[in-house]
Structure 1
Amino acid sequence: MTTDPYQSLVKHLTNCTDSSDIDKLLSALLTDKEQHDIANRIRIFDLLDRGITQRDISEQLRVGIATVSRGAKAKQSHDVSALLATHRSRS
């Protein structure tokens, strides 16, 4: 068993068999605000991929421009576009 808490989280998420299990686990682990913030980060990634400006994203999601800028920086730092594109094509 791993002692790294983040890797433990990844392992537990990997063990989930469907989206209902993931929803249960994340609901137990995260506050409503944390869930909302993570969902907004994904939305920021998606809107950036669609070519929406950071200012428009800020207005659309009703978040500060700094939140969008942090999301843009995170998206640029971590190559998740392929993972998110796969998600979008399945939804």
Structure 2
Amino acid sequence: MSTDPYHSLLSHLANCTDSAEIEKLLSALLTDKEQHDIANRIRIFDLLDRGITQRDISEQLGVGIATVSRGARAMHSHDVSALLATHRERS
């Protein structure tokens, strides 16, 4: 197991065998607000990837336009589009 906290987290998540285990781990690690914020970031990525405007996303999710803009910058700087496409193909 890695001594680096972030890589330790990644290792624990990778060792989860299903979504129920991931949910249990994240529930233990994150507050309800943190879980909600992360879920919203993923929703922002998905909606942006589908071509929804930032303003529409802001209204749909009930978050500020700045939150959506930060999500858009993160999505582009980390190039997660391929990961989103892979997830959609599996769904």
TM-score (norm 2): 0.94
- Partner in structure 2 of residue 15 of structure 1: 15
Q: Distance in 1 between matches of 2:81 and 2:56?
A: 20
Q: 1:21 offset after TM fit, Å?
A: 0.6
- Partner in structure 2 of residue 84 of structure 1: 84
Q: 1:24 offset after TM fit, Å?
A: 0.6
Q: 1:4 offset after TM fit, Å?
A: 1.0
**Structure 2: gaps spanning 5 or more residues:** none
- Partner in structure 2 of residue 59 of structure 1: 59
Q: Distance in 2 between matches of 1:25 and 1:47?
A: 26
- Partner in structure 2 of residue 36 of structure 1: 36
Q: Which runs of 4+ in 1 moved over 2 A?
A: none
Query: What is the letter of the counterpart of residue 66 of structure 1?
Result: A
Task: State the percentage of identical aligned residues.
Answer: 86
Q: Distance in 1 between matches of 2:84 and 2:26?
A: 18
Aligned residue-pair number? 91
Q: Distance in 2 between matches of 1:64 and 1:81?
A: 22
Query: What is the letter of the counterpart of residue 87 of structure 1?
Result: H
